Amino acid sequence: MRIILFGATGRTGLCVVEQALAHGHTVTAFLRDPAKLPVEHPKLHKVVGDIQDRASIDKALAEAEPFDAAISALGIFHREPRTELSSGTKNVLAALQAHGVRRIGVVSSLGAGDSKGQGNFLARNLQRFLLSHVLEDKGRQEELIRNSGLQWTIARPPQLTDAPAIRTDLFEWQGPVPKGAKLSWKVSRASVAAFILAAIENGNHINQVVNISEPK
């Protein structure tokens, strides 16, 4: 497949890059600073741009189209109300629509949208006191994606870890947490990358928001 990736320089985005290349896909990494992506590969193309600049997204898509899918692993941390993630996602979605890219996989966060307040004691307090404004903007991002008319999949992981193993036994749910579910409320970035990449490759979870966690 030909995939354009937004958020390639984050730790989850890096996992997506490495796994997609290992699967034989061609990846265009859309980023502001190519030096921050320490991967070189014949099937990896680094394109400089900014999600706040719609023209730079259009240029990236036009130069290497057609694309089969897009993946967003964008993450923007802030302690005050801001809208960079949702406003940038609006530009991304408009550009994908204009260039005929119909499929997108998105890494969001548990605590966004209707998952607000889910998690263990630590997770709930992080959502309330540290990540409240981040999750509000992720909620706006999710709404834009749901209304985009594209074929989308949104994954909501809880606390992320750098464990290298890819777990294939992730617990998945939508809506409220199922009664009796035994969850660790953690998941490795490698597992999140594998989940969203599999959704793109196999057509899993089209137009679904999926909460994921490693079992306890």
> pLDDT tens, 33-72?
999 999 999 999 999 999 999 999 999 999 887 999 999 9
Strands 208-213 and 103-107: unpaired
Please give the pLDDT value at position 170. Answer: 97
Task: Write the CB contacts of 152 (distance below 8 Å, at least 6 apart in sequence).
Answer: 103, 104, 105, 106, 145, 146, 206, 207
**Is residue 23 packed enough to be buried (19+ CB in 10 Å), middle (13-18) or exposed (0-12)?**
middle
Question: What's the domain range around 127?
Answer: 2-213
Q: Which residues of 24-44 are buried (b: 16+ CB within 10 A; e: fewer)?
A: ebbbbbbbeeeeebeeeeeeb
| DSSP secondary structure, 78-143, as one string | -SS---HHHHHHHHHHHHHHHTT--EEEEE--BTBGGGTT-S-HHHHHIIIIISHHHHHHHHHHHH
Least confident of 28-32, 118-122, 157-161, 212-216: 118-122
Please give the pLDDT value at position 92. Answer: 98
The pTM (predicted TM-score) of the whole model is 0.95
Please give the pLDDT value at position 131. Answer: 80
Q: Which residues of 66-77 are buried (b: 16+ CB within 10 A; e: fewer)?
A: ebebbbbbbbbe
Please give the pLDDT value at position 76. Answer: 82
Residue 3 clears pLDDT 90, i.e. is over it: yes
Please give the pLDDT value at position 74. Answer: 95
Which domain CATH number covers 24? Answer: 3.40.50.720
CA-atom Rg of the chain in angstroms: 16
- Reduce the DSSP state of residue 65 to 3 states and report it: coil
Cα 16 to Cα 198: distance, rounded to the nearest angstrom = 11
For 143-202, what is each residue's pLDDT tens digit? 999 999 999 999 999 999 999 999 999 999 999 999 999 999 999 999 999 999 999 999
For 128-145, what is each residue's pLDDT tens digit? 887 889 999 999 999 999
Q: How confident is the model at residue 122 (pLDDT cuts 50, 70, 90)?
A: confident
φ, ψ (nearest 5 deg) of residue 141: -60, -45
Q: Which residue has the tokens 């967003």?
A: 72
Q: How confident is the model at residue 82 (pLDDT cuts 50, 70, 90)?
A: confident
Cα 91 to Cα 114: distance, rounded to the nearest angstrom = 24
Please give the pLDDT value at position 130. Answer: 79
Please give the pLDDT value at position 65. Answer: 78
How many folded domains does the chain comprise?
Answer: 1
Please give the pLDDT value at position 77. Answer: 78
Q: Are 56 and 49 in contact (CB under 8 A)?
A: yes
